[in-house]
Structure 1
């Protein structure tokens, strides 16, 4: 498979490493509006062709599929052009800035009949995949209650650098620089972690968002620090189950941790994923009576990158699709409105 990488920022390096390690994949071209950056990137990963516009790459056209690693606001126009050209696309998350654009991308990809995927990276966690299979097999009975959290501490810790002086972090705190805060940054990840793991669609959402004081006048240089730092939401799932989902950048002691607890009427499952790895625990069968939890071996699973390559080769669509990501974006959009109106809103989103 001949692959084009569109966008050559930080995440594009991960794409180059991941795709470059897959047998049969040749990265044949890279695109970035910054000529110097695309040149350095192409040299670093030994990519023969480099372009400063998508139009030039499409005019050349000698590639089978595309990894779209452009900034969020660029996903929609570039992906629509790629779909129109009949090119399969793996797009970084979030699929688009809002549900309307994400839905348009899903409609276009489905109408064109091309393979489309969104890189929801935590689908690569084997413990999450096994948890979902256990739920679907009925091992914990009917799901009644779901808890999910995504905790980071980069507003407290300098593990990834100092947000006060680094534009890489400052823009994530400023709505004027295109950020929708922690909700926009990791909300799609933890919603997918929860709804996919529990194998449930989201029916209703109620959300609260909060930006805390971080600097004098909540401003550093050109950055107004007004994007949300934490969110808490409650969900009604389609089967009647209740969900509690929250995320924060103020979670002292947690560098980057996702946690999911799924409680059914016959058992429970817990998934934890952080920088140390992943863990899967279950309380099922006779252990329910004395609340005994046992750690399980989740095995290994293919990555999104590997599954995208196989899908392109076979022509068979695989998850997570544009349609799935659009459903998650619908919930995220409604979460913002819910906070503004202090109201529960109906989502009816296909998120499982």
Structure 2
């Protein structure tokens, strides 16, 4: 598979590193509107061709697939152009900034008959995969309740950099720069973490959003700091389970931590994932009577990068697909409506 990487910002380095490590994948081009950035990126990863626009790369055309690592608001137009050219697409999350654009991308991909997948990176967590396996095998019995959280601290700590002075962070806090805040940025991750691990999609949702004061006049330079910083959501799954999902960038002491607990009639599982380790705990069978939890070791699983390559080789889209990411985007859109309306919404009427 000959791959083009579209966008050469920070996350593009992960794409270049992971795809280059796969036997059978050749990263042949990089694209960025900034000539100096694409030149430096290509030099770092030994990529032979550089382009200043997607149009120029498509005119060249000597590639099979695109890894779309552009800003969120650019996913839609660039992906639609790639699909029209018959290219397979591996898109960063979120698929689009709203459901209308996401479903258009999904339907275009399905009509084109190409592989179209989304990099929901926490599918790479082996402990989450095992938790889902236990749920689907009935080891927990009927799932009744779940709780999921995504905690970050970069608005508190400078460990990741200083958002007050670095635009690579500031755009994430500004609606006019394409950000849907914590809900749009990491909300899609924790929603996928929750529904995948609990083995069921969301049926009803209610969400509250909060944007805290962060600077004088809620503005730094050209950036209005008006995107949400935290959200708290109640959700009911299609399998009837009730649960809570919350996320924030103000979680002091938590650099990047996801947690999921799923409770069933006969047992429970808990997944903890940080930037430096992942753990799975189970309370199953007779242990449910004593409250004994056991840490479970699990083998590694294929990454999304490897699964995308596998999908292209097979000519068939695997999960996480555009359609799945679109269903999550619908939940995100409805979450914003519930915050406005102060009432619960059903995902599918």
Which TM class, normalised by the smaller chain length?
over 0.9
Q: Contact (CA 8 Å) 2:29, 2:50: kept in 1 or not? A: yes
4+ aligned runs moved over 3 Å, structure 1? none
What residue in structure 2 maps to residue 11 of structure 1? 11
SS in structure 2 at match of 1:192: helix
SS in structure 2 at match of 1:270: strand
Q: Deviations over 1:8-58 (max 9, x none)?
A: 111111111111111121111111122222122112211111111212211
What residue in structure 2 maps to residue 201 of structure 1? 201
Is 1:192 matched up with 2:199? Answer: no
The Cα of 1:224 is off from its aligned counterpart by 2.1
Is 1:345 matched up with 2:345? Answer: yes
Is 1:267 matched up with 2:253? Answer: no
Q: Contact (CA 8 Å) 1:99, 1:329: kept in 2 or not? A: yes
The Cα of 1:81 is off from its aligned counterpart by 1.3
CA distance change for structure 1 residues 222 and 60 in 2, over 3 Å: closer, same or farther? closer
Is 1:210 matched up with 2:206? Answer: no
SS in structure 2 at match of 1:348: coil
Q: Which moved more, 1:310-319 or 1:329-338?
A: 310-319
What residue in structure 1 maps to residue 90 of structure 2? 90
What residue in structure 2 maps to residue 65 of structure 1? 65
Q: Deviations over 1:234-275 (max 9, x none)?
A: 001112110200001111111110000000011000000002
Q: Contact (CA 8 Å) 1:148, 1:259: kept in 2 or not? A: yes
CA distance in structure 2 between the partners assigned to 1:272 and 1:303 by the alignment: 18
Q: Contact (CA 8 Å) 1:202, 1:348: kept in 2 or not? A: no
TM-score scaled by structure 1? 0.97
Q: Contact (CA 8 Å) 1:201, 1:348: kept in 2 or not? A: no
The Cα of 1:223 is off from its aligned counterpart by 2.2
What residue in structure 1 maps to residue 119 of structure 2? 119
The Cα of 1:178 is off from its aligned counterpart by 2.0
CA RMSD of aligned residues (A): 1.2
What residue in structure 2 maps to residue 180 of structure 1? 180
Q: Contact (CA 8 Å) 2:206, 2:345: kept in 1 or not? A: yes
Stretches of structure 2 that go unaligned for 5 or more consecutive residues are none
CA distance in structure 2 between the partners assigned to 1:152 and 1:311 by the alignment: 32
